[in-house]
């Protein structure tokens, strides 16, 4: 069964991507992952799809539990076809007040959890006859230095590098690895980075969700292995 796993599906870009991917109908089973079951239910209620949708209330900081989560999904569906690493975390602080704990939590969510998910999914994706897709959401913060965003920006730079490296390493198996770096996008995470911004004038999660949906469609096969900037001209 063509299966798509989506993290961060309870809000923002993750929710928008889940709705768009469901509407496109290319995946028969969607596994929505998020910390809050209520928010996942809300996402599901907005979907129009004939695909099977299953919700997983799961904290990605629980890295050790990720292999069992992926195995569970694989055993239910018999195939992992697509992974969307969208969940993100930020705690913007100047260097001198950035705690090790904050740095660690940011990297756990933004880098280590995607790494674990990719590693575990790739074990099964390698077995697919028709390949697979992985899409990681980085950020323009990962390529543009900004004071006060150390933990978030550096973690997103890691996501870009991880994506480009894995695009090479996994190409032999027909696994395409995509990386997108959205600019300013009207999400709760962005609100923490830029509290005074008028979010009605910037890119909306649905804009990014549609692009993600296009990238993970069967017909797309030219844009993997590179950091794709997704930015709305104001």
| 172 lies in the binding site for another protein (CB under 8 A) | yes
User: Site mask, another protein, residues 206-225, x = CB under 8 A?
Assistant: -------------------x
The region of 71-79, 87-95, 165-173, 196-204 touching another protein under the rule CB under 8 A is 165-173
- Given 46, 169, 194, 214, the residue binding another protein (CB under 8 A): 169
Which residues, including other chains, have CB under 8 Å from residue 57's CB and lie 6 or more apart? 34, 35, 36, 37, 40
38 belongs to the binding site for another protein (CB under 8 A) = no
Smallest distance, another protein to C-beta of residue 166, A: 10
Looking at 107, 152, 173, 178, which residue is catalytic?
152
- For the purposes of burial, counting CB atoms within 10 Å of the CB of 99, is it exposed (0-12), middle (13-18) or buried (19 or more)? exposed
Residue with tokens 């794709």: 228
What is the three-class DSSP state of 88?
Answer: coil
Cα Rg of the chain, angstroms: 17
Burial class (CB in 10 A: 0-12, 13-18, 19+), 105: middle
Q: Which is nearer to another protein, 47 or 171 (CB)?
A: 171
Strand partners, 91: none
Question: Site for another protein (CB under 8 A): how many residues?
Answer: 7
Q: Please tell me whether residue 126 binds another protein under the rule CB under 8 A.
A: yes
**Closest C-alpha to 136, from 109, 155, 163:** 163
72 touches another protein by CB under 8 A? no
Interface with another protein by CB under 8 A: which range of 37-45, 61-69, 166-174, 206-214?
166-174
- The Cβ of residue 91 has, within 10 Å, a number of other Cβ atoms equal to 16
Active site residue 178: no
Q: What is the Cα–Cα distance from 141 to 179, expressed in whole angstroms?
A: 14
**Binding of another protein by 62 (CB under 8 A):** no
CB of 130 to another protein, least distance (A): 13
Applying CB under 8 A, which residues contact another protein?
Answer: 123, 126, 168-169, 171-172, 225
């Amino acid at each position: 069964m063509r299966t798509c796993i989506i993290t961060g599906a309870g809000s923002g870009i993750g929710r928008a991507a889940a709705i768009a991917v469901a509407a496109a109908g290319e995946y028969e089973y969607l596994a929505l992952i998020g910390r809050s079951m209520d928010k996942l239910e809300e996402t599901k209620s907005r979907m129009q799809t004939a695909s099977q949708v299953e919700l997983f209330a799961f904290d990605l900081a629980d890295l050790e539990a990720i292999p069992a989560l992926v195995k569970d999904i694989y055993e239910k569906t018999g195939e992992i076809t697509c992974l969307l690493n969208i969940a993100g975390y930020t705690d913007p602080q100047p260097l001198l007040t950035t705690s090790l704990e904050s740095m660690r939590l940011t990297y756990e969510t933004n880098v280590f959890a995607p790494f674990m998910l990719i590693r575990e999914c790739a074990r099964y994706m390698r077995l697919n006859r028709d390949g697979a897709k992985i899409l990681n959401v980085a950020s323009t913060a990962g390529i543009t230095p900004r004071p006060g965003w150390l933990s978030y920006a550096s973690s997103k730079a890691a996501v870009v590098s991880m994506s480009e490296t894995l695009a090479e390493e996994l190409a032999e198996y027909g696994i395409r690895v995509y990386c997108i770096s959205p600019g300013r996008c009207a999400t709760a995470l962005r609100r923490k980075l830029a509290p005074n911004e008028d979010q009605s004038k910037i890119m909306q999660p649905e804009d990014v969700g549609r692009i993600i949906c296009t990238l993970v469609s069967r017909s797309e096969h030219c844009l993997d292995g590179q950091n794709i900037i997704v930015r709305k001209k104001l």
